Amino acid sequence: MTPTLAKPASKLDRPINWLTTSFLIVFHAGAIAALFFFSWKALAVAVLLHWCGICFGISMGYHRLLTHRSYKVPKWMEYFFAVCGTLTLEGGPIFWVATHRIHHQFSDREGDPHSPHDGAFWAHMGWLLTGESHHADTKTMSKYAPDLAKDPVHVWLNNYHWVPLIVSSLALLYFGGISYLLWGTFMRVTLGLHFTWLVNSATHMWGPRRFATRDDSRNNWWVALLTFGEGWHNNHHAHPTSARHGLAWFEFDMSWCQIWLLRKLGVAKNVKVARVNEPLIERKAA
């Protein structure tokens, strides 16, 4: 949704962001309403869009491709992943990438937008509900993502990140009625948000640590299953430019499986891969 750049000395000093809070209330209410309009077709549509939004959009697109540049794909595919990312209600590419780069720079220290050091609820979603929003502030966020700010397509998607979600929602309503809309938009987006937020909260609190990183990042298998491999978070913080997060054979990483397939097909290039026994490389920023 609408993260802010950094938390002040006390999170209680920040007023409630009623715009963000209102949207979250509406989407959670819509997700509950979806339970009364269930159909298998609507569920299938929701699963497909969830895969596009969280796997293609957030994990493979916003995160591993645009934030960390762990691999390269043709521009048309990069833009497709970015459009998928906008379907999650997590903001545009410049905003998301900038926020995540800030997280890596100050992970679990002062300046981290969502550290559990400020409380589990704060890390999960509380940080979204207060303070000034920057999701539409392309100029400010571009300071942290200057590479994307040079691309007019990413700038447009950041300024109008709500357009693809509205268009897809209208299409769902037209072709499938209220059931498709409630499941394909409200239920899907709400669950997708919570799954993504678990990477900010749960994977900095629970799970083993393979690498002695300077933050509290941990590997969490159940978050990895919910987020297409993003839960292998300690691996990621140790080697942020690696396209593969699940480094051991038993660490299932669906996003990596798809990047691997793209590489085999000759679509993905310059794929960076860390190994499970590779020494920790300390970085101030990703």
Q: Which of 7-16, 56-65, 123-132 has the highest mean pLDDT?
A: 56-65
Whether the predicted pLDDT of 101 surpasses 80: yes
Tokens of 266: 């000759």
How far is the first Cα of the chain from the last one, in angstroms, to the nearest whole number? 22
Residue 131 located in a structural domain: yes
Give the pLDDT confidence of 10-35 residue by residue, as tens digits: 564 678 889 999 999 999 999 999 99
Q: What share of the chain has pLDDT > 70, as a percent?
A: 92
Residue 16 pLDDT = 87
Residue 7 pLDDT = 43
Q: What is the pTM of this model?
A: 0.91
Place 286 in a pLDDT band, splitting at 50, 70 and 90: very low
Residue 75 located in a structural domain: yes
- Residue 260 CB coordination number (10 Å): 17
Residue 179 pLDDT = 98
CA separation for the pair 82, 64 (Å, rounded): 12
Number of structural domains found in the chain: 1
Residue 96 located in a structural domain: yes
Whether the predicted pLDDT of 143 surpasses 80: yes
Give the pLDDT confidence of 149-199 residue by residue, as tens digits: 999 999 999 999 999 999 999 999 999 999 999 999 999 999 999 999 999
Residue 286 located in a structural domain: no
Residue 183 located in a structural domain: yes
Whether the predicted pLDDT of 6 surpasses 80: no
CA separation for the pair 177, 247 (Å, rounded): 43
Q: What is the mean pLDDT of residues 267-276?
A: 95
Return mean pLDDT, the chain.
92
Residue 66 pLDDT = 98
Contact indicator for 282, 214 with CB cutoff of 8 Å: yes
Domain that includes residue 86, residue range: 11-207
Residue 263 located in a structural domain: no
Of the CA atoms within 13 Å of residue 81, those in its CB half-sphere come to 23
Give the pLDDT confidence of 223-247 residue by residue, as tens digits: 999 999 999 999 999 999 999 999 9
Q: What is the mean pLDDT of residues 61-82?
A: 98
Beta bridge partners of 269: 72
Residue 62 pLDDT = 98
